[in-house]
Structure 1
Amino acid sequence: MAAPEHIYRVIFHSQGKVYEIYARKVADGGLLGFVQIESLTFGERTQVVVDPSEERLKSEFAGVKRTFIPMHAIIRIDEVEKEGAPKITDAEGKVTHFPMPFYGPGRGRD
């Protein structure tokens, strides 16, 4: 019996927009402070109607094997039963970054 395929919905903000994408693999990755997202999925629609938001996402992530999203940009990650429509929406209201400590030269090393 084959292992079930996991599908994750990843919602994050970037440049004043909220992105909702679907992927088969999500991990903490090898870069400190980043979430690694692999195997992005886009619904293969046979409908005549084309969603411009989904088409924009397809072109933005075309040829991307894996992407690294800053941890503070992630809004939420859900494991879902089936894939939905990926989309980009305007961020409504105030989106606040998660507070992160800043350790620069001479700071926080007492």
Structure 2
Amino acid sequence: MRIFKVIFLNQGKLYEIYARSIHQGELYGFVELEDLIFERGNSLLIDPSTERLQEEFAGVSRTLVPIHAVIRIDEVEKEGPGKITELDNTTNITPFPTPFISPSKNEDD
């Protein structure tokens, strides 16, 4: 069975999740992730970022991620711990650039 590790940006945070199925979504510009995998740790220590990730995607069978938010997709041999990482000034990851001209809010422009 194929397993993919997907790293993407979402609201200023870096997400690392595992999925069994990845393909171009029906919506243009989105990557569709299905059958998300969350590592079930047997240890007594629980990583808070892994727990937050499991809570955020609880009950989700399929999610769509904007293609410009995806940093990397790897096919891996086995799943690892998914996590959410806060980005700060010391990281070298930046979001995809936004357009220079933003759409006008006035209909007359």
Instruction: Decide: shared fold, TM above 0.5.
Output: yes
Please list every run of 5 or more consecutive structure 2 residues that lacks an aligned counterpart in the other structure.
104-109
The structure 1 segments of at least 4 consecutive aligned residues displaced by more than 2 Å after TM superposition are none
SS of 2:35's equivalent?
strand
Supply the distance in 2 between the matched residues of 1:95 and 1:59 (Cα, whole angstroms).
Answer: 26
TM-score w.r.t. the length of structure 1 is: 0.82
From 53, 59, 63, give the equivalent of 2:59. Answer: 63
Give the counterpart letter for 2:21 in structure 1: K
TM-score w.r.t. the length of structure 2 is: 0.83
Deviations 1:3-53 (A, max 9, x none): xx0000000001111000000000002110000000000011111111110
Deviations 1:72-100 (A, max 9, x none): 00001000011111011122235131678
Which residue in 2 is equivalent to 1:23?
Answer: 19
Count of aligned residue pairs for this structure pair = 98
Q: Is the 8 A contact 2:69 2:95 kept in 1?
A: no
Point out the more displaced range, 19-28 or 43-52.
43-52
Which residue in 1 is equivalent to 2:94?
Answer: 95
